[in-house]
Structure 1
Amino acid sequence: MSEIDFEELAEIELQKDEAEHAVMEKRKTSFTPATCEDTELSINHPYYDVARHGIVQLAGDDNSGRRVITFSCCRMPPSHQLNHSRLLEYLRYTLDQYVENDYTLVYFHYGLNSRNKPSLNWLQSAYKEFDRKYKKNLKALYVVHPTNFIKILWNIFKPLIRHDENLRDKQKGRPPPSAKVPPPRPPLPTQQFGVSLQYLKDKNKGQLIPPVMEQTVFYLKSKGLRVEGLFRRSASIQTIKEVQKLYNQGKPVNFDDYGDIHIPAVILKTFLRELPQPLLTFESYDQILGITSVESSLRVTSCKQVIQGLPEHNYVVLKYLICFLHMVSQESIYNKMTGSNLACVFGLNLIWPPEGASSLSALNPLNLFTELLIDFYSKIFSSRTVPGDILP
């Protein structure tokens, strides 16, 4: 079948979809995809013209701690209002922040119609643009609301859309994953995950550095600093839950027993992500988002001011962590984890908004702030003396 035939067939199937959903669309009188704009987005964003529609979004993390990126067709305005070449550039720009780590894509097909659909030529260009760099760490691709149009694309892009049958079979019968499972109420006296820094301090004889963080950092310092891709890779969900359970029950954990350096790395990220309040605190969120509007030469000073305003306990733990991440970045010739790469991994584990997930427009400032903390560790953390100080 020729490309023209496929284009015509795709148009026919889209028109069928529109007819089938006509009644539903009439009921949705407030449905205006073109106005679903990201209110947090700065007009200075390099792809503001595309990003403002909210077509591409960060949806948070999946159960393995992997970033989840969504593409929503219902937010695509009519084709004459959207430069599809710019959309492709923006999609690549967004994915570039994550492709060095494991990630998941979710494609919401509902809302694609004959008025806003890109051409098959555009889809073929997109396929060519996304080479192995973007595919090697793509751990899952979900297509939501598939139609006959998707089946047509399947015939064209079989190498792109792969489905892991074994993974699906393993997941059968499991309850749907929750965003965050709270600890028992009241938590165990030995609880380590999902409880506050103050709780951990009180239950560990006043120790400021949480045991999980102290033990994972010690292990990774001794055996992981030169491991390529440290913190990029995921680990077995079952193993991570087993290790969490051991910690929460106050039982000893020996990472040598698992033979996988990425397990303590994922445990450290999981510990940070499950804190009831982010290490950088909710109060600092808006200040951190403003870092991109600060003149480049003043950004380190601005970071320092934010850090100086943290509660003492948060400051001590953050300093301990950033000191370690700075050490990791110093070995980037071996582990390939520069301050920028580490920031992409840890940014959203250190700070998130009080409600909901961070939007894609927030990622650049959050990651930039984290990168500055790592690269300028000594300068940012030099002027405040607190118990438990650690120097590189």
Structure 2
Amino acid sequence: MTSTSDLEQLAELELQDDEDEDEDGGQRSVPLRSTPDSSHPFYDVARHGIIQVSGDDRYGRKLITFSSCCLPPSHQLDHRRLLEYLKFTLDQYVEMDYILVYFHSGLRSSNKPSLAWLREAYGEFDRKYKKNLKSLYVVHPTSFIRIVWNLFKPLISKKFGKKLTYVNYLTELGEHLNYEQLVVPPDVLSIREKNREAPIPPVLQQTVSYLREKGLRTEGIFRRSARVQLIKDVQRLYNLGKPVNFDDYGDVHVPAVILKTFLRELPEPLLTFRLYSQVQDLLSVESSLRVSRCKHMMEELPEHNFIIAKFLLSFLHLVSQHSLVNRMSPSNLACVFGVNLVRSQRGSVSLAELNPIHLFTEILVEHFHTVFGSRCTPAQGTP
């Protein structure tokens, strides 16, 4: 077994590797933020803009951000004061539901608090702080985060662990909350620019974006067809690398069909041929264990496939939450998308094979947060 000291050493090595991959040579820009008055009781810490309180999310919960890129070199900051300031800030909101967003990019050997400090900080946040924390989003995680999480795992309750979500891209953060309300430092925004070649295919990115904005309340979305010629026209544009404006077609079912067609025509299904036999065995798994089995299956996917699957299923989960209007329950979505996500290498699927495929896909949609919520997939090209 790996000892605590070994993990601490490994975490430090991973952090140094992250720094080596940083393309900006360590030059940090000054973040845009509200500047506290010099009479602020924690002005010495608050002036750095490390902790910011933003507007409410879509459910009226306060958004609080912690930005590592705003941390000055350790010799310029009293980390005990930082902890006191964090508690001072949270004390104003812990009686209500609130959300924490941690921007990891910018943490370096020169400005990181010690692991002993992290242990102390976690120990001081008693039940009153954890009770109303609804979600903790870790944005742009790296291998360093995963190692530190393993280091702290014995101290962290399962209930608290379920509140943690890793987010690789700001667009992905937008699936959970309106990040436009957040005070996002320029260094974090620049990560979005460096990752504009993110692994989400443009067809998927654009159809999902359009449907999220204009198709969630459309009855029968994904169950209706569109004019064949329109679909061919759009496919031709994508094949030529030309821009597509779905408003030009006046039919929300066009991007819906394009999305299904894209997934169906992949040479290998998004969830890979290798997963097919495991999906077929799902009916033999005890009902209470099926969600955890699906989670394990997803975690076996290659990282690229996992990221794309998480992006897609997050959207389908959102569609299902509007099922009273659009009539697309997790079960209905599974009937539409199941065979487009997983199939055997021989191509055809018998009627007997459809049931486990539909069950599997329904679980992915309905239990999205459980299935996809805890795998750390380090963002490519981020510190």
Q: TM-score, normalised by structure 1?
A: 0.46
Select the structure with the greater relative contact order (CA < 8 A; seq sep ≥ 6): 2
